[in-house]
Amino acid sequence: MGEAMQGFAYAICLLLSVLLNILLVGNILYGGDGEWRLRLPNGELKWSQDAAAAAEAVAALQCSGHGIAFLDGEIGDDGVTPVCECHTCYSGSDCSLLLPDCFADADSGDPLFLEPFWVQNAASSAVVVSGWHRMSYSFPDSSIFSQQLENHIRKVHAIARNAITDGKYIVFGVGSTQLCNAAVYALSLENSSSLSPAKVVAKIPFYPLYKMQTEYFETKNYEFEGDPSLLRNDTDAAGNVIEFVTSPNNPDGHLRAPVVGGPFARTIYDRAYYWPHFTAIPAAADEDLSIFTISKLTGHAGSRFGWAIVKDKSVYENMVAYIRTAELGISKETQLRALSLLKTVVQGDGRGIFNFSYEKMKNRWERLSQIISQSRRFTLQEISPNYCNFFEKIRGPSPAYAWVKCLREEETDCGAVLEAAKIIGRAGSMFSAEDRYVRLSLLKRDDDFEQLLARLRELVAIEDGAKTM
Ligand SMILES: Cc1ncc(COP(=O)(O)O)c(C=O)c1O
């Protein structure tokens, strides 16, 4: 009996000791706050201290809230402190001076509206890169793509409920820009028995890159045609066609479906803006080939990272072959950073970035619409409220761009009309549409957006017969 008791006591001790060890190891790996982070047992940093201190020192430079400093920016007279890079329309060493005659620059689609989200999430999104981080061309499994990152991409889509990734392949690219041509290349090989090159089409107004890139990289397998209406009904339409469908569309924010049908028509869905930030998500995309980009999801256009979700194995393999031939893979630093950003995106209930972005973009659209509603000279595109799979309710518009139309008959160059009022937009002809249209970016920083609203208010206020504000 005594021996049995002793054995029992040993067993209990062993069990307690195992439990204690699990708790200690768990604490080292994930910290005491339940966050999944690797931590040093004694919290003492050895070689990353200086780098971390420099990163925090540069972030601490306030630049009056109208500028920002970076570690790789210009250095001041002391030879160490980076200089503030002022937002457009601000100047001075601390960016506190507002330039009186400054143009509102609403040209580029730089999604800097997300900068404050990352400042709010500074701790979870920061990443330290050791001098020896993944120096190899490939990962240990010989892949050029990070499996961890792929897992997180699938997770983000599951949370946003904007794409089905189950049973599909994922290819990474240097931005979605590279994947657009990789997709054209891969799809053009699918019907290589055809004697004539595949015709690449996109409905007007369309994002200019499709034409520029397809023409630039044209091969004997594909050529750019333009609007699908240019296809001859009898032969081309039933033939070898690759259609870009941008949904929601850049520039007008409309959700789109393919125009071309037929057995040999193939579609590349450019889903750059298919996030709750910019559109209602009527249903999760379940397509043969969809392209997404971190540029418009997290705002990190400078990191140059995009991915394609591909159903067909041979299309996937040809896209990977394209990436290998063009670039021998994607920067491992970019993949590490993208992983760290997506880990932040999915933390908690994973809704944080979508709530932030939707509120910001919706508010911008409402304020802009309110000003333009006073005008008899300009209109904006109409976007109807729609059911959203993510918010599980009908929601209003929050597009990335305003597609402005000049209504006066004589004002055929709307870009010139806006430029005379110190507003820079992107001409309709850039999107193969009329210059009676101009695209205004709503994606930039608050300072840019406020300047845009100020200039528009002035323009509408001097309008003959404007409705009273
Ligand atoms: C519709 C569309 N597709 C692709 C891109 C390119 O994005 P990335 O930064 O991923 O190359 C953009 C950028 O503005 C875009 O508007």
Distance CA 461, CA 469 (A): 8
Say which CATH number the domain at 54 has: 2.10.25.30
Q: Is the CB of 272 under 6 A from ligand 1?
A: yes
pLDDT score recorded for residue 264: 78
End-to-end CA, the chain: 94
Domain contains 131:
no
Instruction: Give me the CATH number covering residue 452.
Output: 3.90.1150.10
Q: Is residue 397, in this structure, part of any structural domain at all?
A: yes
Domain check: are 187 and 294 in the same one? yes
> How many angstroms is it from 177 CA to the middle of ligand 1?
6
Q: Report the CATH number that the domain containing residue 227 is assigned in CATH.
A: 3.40.640.10
User: Do 251 and 177 fall into the same domain?
Assistant: yes
To the nearest 10°, the Cα dihedral for 340, 341, 343, 349? Answer: 160
60 and 194 in a single domain? The answer is no
Distance 284 CA to ligand 1 centre (A): 20
Alpha-carbon distance of 429 to 327, in angstroms, equals: 32
Nearest-atom index, ligand 1, CA of 109: 14
Choosing from 299, 315, 346, the residue where a domain stops is 346
Residue 8 has a pLDDT of 64
Q: Residue 140 domain-assigned?
A: no
- The answer as to whether 141 is a domain residue is no
Domain assignment present for residue 447? The answer is: yes
Q: Are residues 17 and 85 in the same domain?
A: no
Give the DSSP H or E segment for 171.
Answer: strand 169-173
- Tell me whether residue 116 is in a domain: no
Give the model confidence (pLDDT) of 247-273 as tens digits: 999 999 999 999 997 777 999 999 999
**pLDDT of 12 above 90:** no
Q: Do 15 and 59 fall within a single domain? A: no
Take atom 2 of ligand 1 and give the residue whose Cα is closest.
272
Structural domain total, the chain: 4
Regarding whether 271 and 403 lie in a shared domain, the answer is no
Same-domain status, 39 and 49: no
Phi, psi of 123 (to 5 degrees): -65, -45
pLDDT at residue 464 greater than cutoff 80: no
CA 385/CA 365 separation, integer angstroms? 13
The range of the structural domain enclosing residue 442 comes to 352-461
Residue ID of nearest Cα to ligand 1 atom 13? 109
What is the β-pairing status of strands 265-270 and 289-293? parallel
C-beta separation of 405 from 414 below 8 A: yes
Q: Are residues 338 and 372 in the same domain?
A: no
pLDDT digits (tens, 9 = 90+) for 222-238: 999 999 998 876 565 55
Residue nearest to atom 16 of ligand 1 (CA): 250
In short, whether 207's Cβ falls inside 6 Å of ligand 1 is yes
Q: Are residues 52 and 172 in the same domain?
A: no
